[in-house]
Structure 1
Amino acid sequence: MALSGGGANSDDMRRHNLSTVLGILHHNRRLSRTEITHASGLARSSVKGLVAELERVGLCFESEPEANFKSGRPSPTVEPRDDVLSVGVSRDARGLTVGFATLGATIVHQRWVPLERATTSMATADAVAAIIDESRAALPADALLVGIGAAVPGFVSGSEHNEVFAASISWDGEPFAEHLSAATGLDAWVRFDAHLGVTAESIWGAGKDRPNVYYLYGGPGGIGSAAIVNGRLLSGNVGMASSLAHTIVKPGGRLCVCGSLGCFQAEVRLRDVFPQADARDASRHGVTPPPVPAEDLRREIALTCLGVRAAVLAFDPELILFDGFLSTLLEAGRADLEAATTVSAMPRLSQQVTLGVPALGSDRLLIGAADLGFRGLLADPVGLVARLRD
């Protein structure tokens, strides 16, 4: 909706409305001008002018509408251009993936390279810059890179989200966003990978139009989780809200990196079998994962049931997504995991929870990271393009 308020000047209102229209286009990929009008709450004539300005600066284009045999003149179709790109970065305990995404989160090119677990934040940023330079030939001609978003396997804290704490890659308060900006010259933002995974799935994937989603991701560095409740991503005071990885599922069990015994993350060890995130990710890198012993699989499923029950009680989701190696447990133990979502014998309080896997496949974290990299463009479309092209 249009900006209002006595303190807002016309430039602020114009910038806000351009941001609104571009954001709608980014989340929906292809819409008619009439659909944008309905979604924005702006006047039809205003949307026409805003789309024209976004087209003028090279962010979208209009095309003739398809015949629909309805009365009246059909509305033109608006689509984002494919040469305005965000850089998405996904760092985990195995290595580094760098991808390039259009508005609308379509990945047009990506590259994975192995990295040692203890590779520093600054060295990782230098590797990102090198991949960007090497990838230029594979991108659309005259591609405009507008920002970088990065997914990391740990908590991101600080007033400016500028401190990364990730035990699996030996980072303790690393300013990764600053290092990325220094290495590439682009504005950069960094977030916990599970937060970006659930955000991407809620916009373009399995969680679309579902306001209550819980996301469980099992990767080579451990387990990450995130919750969207009533349409809002939970973050908390230091970024640890909705993280059940450190919930005790076996008192006195294995020692966790957090110092406790028997945490969900420490006890569910399927990552020891899959060096990659899951079977799909393994095949992507040319690895055939070995079969999991039945006894180990039953144990992992039973422990994951405890985590699912805790998630249902804490966040009351309508959908739980199992990602990474945890998708293997869903495939093998769906009946047990579905039973774990029923936490009340009273019919009116019985949860109605769907269990599923991400619709965005192995690109889910990269898409979420690239979406974050569009943050500056979506806040000030015309201003940022002018600055980058000066």
Structure 2
Amino acid sequence: MSQHQFQPDLPPPANTVGVVGWLRKNLFDGPVNSILTIIVSYICITLLWQVANWAFINADWVGTTRDACSREGACWVFISVRWDQFMYGFYPEAELWRPQLFYATLALFVALLAYEGTPKRLWIFLFFVNIYPFIAGALLYGGVFGLEVVDTHKWGGLLVTLIIALVGIIVSLPIGVALALGRRSEMPIIRSICTVYIEVWRGVPLITVLFMASVMLPLFLAEGTETDKLVRALVGVVLFSAAYMAEVVRGGLQAISKGQYEAADALGLSYWKKMGLIVLPQALKITIPSIVNTFIGLFKDTSLVLIIGMFDVLGIGQAANTDPEWLGFSTESYVFVALVFWVFCFGMSRYSIWLENKLHTGHKR
């Protein structure tokens, strides 16, 4: 009896693999889906063409006055004329090198910390978190090393947005971790204080917090003490964001199995070693998407400082829209502001995805 001879596998049909196969499987797998795909594609292409026609093809790019905007498309001349205000607010023109240096050093630190192969990255991070903010504040405000004092009411645009977002992110995270640990503490007083703090701040809108920080904070200080408006806003944003961060971290702590706590106790680790070496690293890794989501929300909420008289990038855009010489170009202003927010928020989102995949250890579903 002859043995059965297995024939080699035949290649799959050409119309089931590659781009053609993907299109047939996802977009044209039946008459109804094919018709819907054609209709939706037509609508999307039409809208995209109209947007491209307005934003690029028929747009005006070069000029210094309103007369340069003679076409039917967008007038990006308006943005170029107001560029310094969008970036630096009303910072003195002769001192613009200071916020420009701040932008350059900030971008350098972000690049060094984002690149995995950077040597001494831990030390760079500690310097960036603990020392760099004071150097940047001295650079921007002045009054030291012969630098001219530039009051914060002259700051604005992207400068204010980045400062509030960075300070809020850097400071609120450790406070939130401490509050989350306190809320899960076995000491009733500590647990009650942290719980009341979190629930009170989470129950108040940020716009109210900013009003309270701007009006009521000076009442708690010594008589005659003046507090900068930017500092008040930073205090309000940090205290508000810390409450939300605490709940995010608490969710990560609750997701850690009880066996991890018991294993740490069995090793004889102290409370702080147990949390710092065993529990918190796992909890923070699990909550990366939620933490970054909170950071993105905080970045976008910086636009609320307009209500206390501070002009962030959105506030500068709204102020520019009221200029009698440039009336009618509010669309360009809002599109530019939206693009600025989208670039930063999308960058944070993509980095969080990369970090989550890098730290993935087989628990992701």
TM-score (norm 1): 0.25
Larger strand share, 1 or 2: 1
Larger gyration radius, structure 1 or structure 2 = 2
Instruction: Report which of the two has the higher share of helix.
Output: 2
How high is the TM-score relative to the length of structure 2?
0.26
